[in-house]
Amino acid sequence: MPETDTPQTQPRLTRELFHHFSMGYHLCIDDGDLFTELTTHETYYRGLFNTLGFNLCDGASGIYYFEPGPEKISINRVSKKFTVFMAILYDFLADQGKDPVSAIIEQRFVVPELPHLQFDPYRKVLEQVGINEEADLLRTVQQLQKYGFLDMKDNYLIMFKRSVSRFTTLFSEVVEPLKTEPGQGDDFDDR
């Protein structure tokens, strides 16, 4: 049955949702009231945003964001940093024998204890995207928070949100075929 909005259920967070999405935010169930508002009135918001020229994307895992138009699809500097940051964490957890997909969501991380700057191979990769010291790493973590991928407490304790699955799903899809190809090893085993 189509969704209908009575005066009591009229969407109430249109500006806030639009602001978040237009800034690149990725909304997921961890976002509480905003997520509930969006999913309760999804048809309304989807139609409104579409009228404004934005496509509200919701991946199979319940993550909502504005899909970039064809003219905006490019890997910018920030996206590269995010991808490298997440790939290193994924690789590190996998090397510890953990399931990186669940470990990233379930574990808590402390910025100074992240593996990113502790091992030369990781450090060399980070340098290629302009992350050279802990302050740069912290800025990247703060940007990940701005875009809805994690929550951070006291500027150091990291708790990833389910929206981070946009990265972990991609890495899983890439890693799985590599496991079956002979001669494929981890690039970062020489720590």
The pTM (predicted TM-score) of the whole model is: 0.80
Same domain, 24 and 100: no
Residues 6+ apart with CB under 8 A from 15: none
User: What secondary structure letter does DSSP report for 27?
Assistant: B
Contact (CB, 8 A) for 152 and 141: yes
pLDDT tens string 101-111: 999 999 999 99
pLDDT tens string 67-115: 876 655 555 888 889 999 999 999 999 999 999 999 999 999 999 999 9
129: in domain: yes
The answer to whether the Cα torsion of 103, 32, 147, 168 is positive or negative is: positive
pLDDT higher at 184 or 22: 22
Query: C-alpha angle 102/142/175, rounded to 5°?
Result: 35
Q: For position 39, which CATH number holds? A: 1.10.10.2250
pLDDT mean across residues, the chain: 85
Alpha carbon distance 167, 126 (integer Å): 17
SS3 42: helix
Same domain, 48 and 106: no
Same domain, 64 and 93: no
User: What secondary structure letter does DSSP report for 4?
Assistant: -
18: in domain: yes
Same domain, 52 and 102: no
Same domain, 58 and 132: no
Domain housing 86: 77-175
What's the Cα-to-Cα distance from 152 to each of 32, 106, 123, 146, 179, rounded to whole Å?
16, 14, 23, 10, 33
* Structure token pair of residue 42: 């999804």
pLDDT tens string 7-32: 445 678 899 999 999 999 999 999 99
Same domain, 127 and 47: no
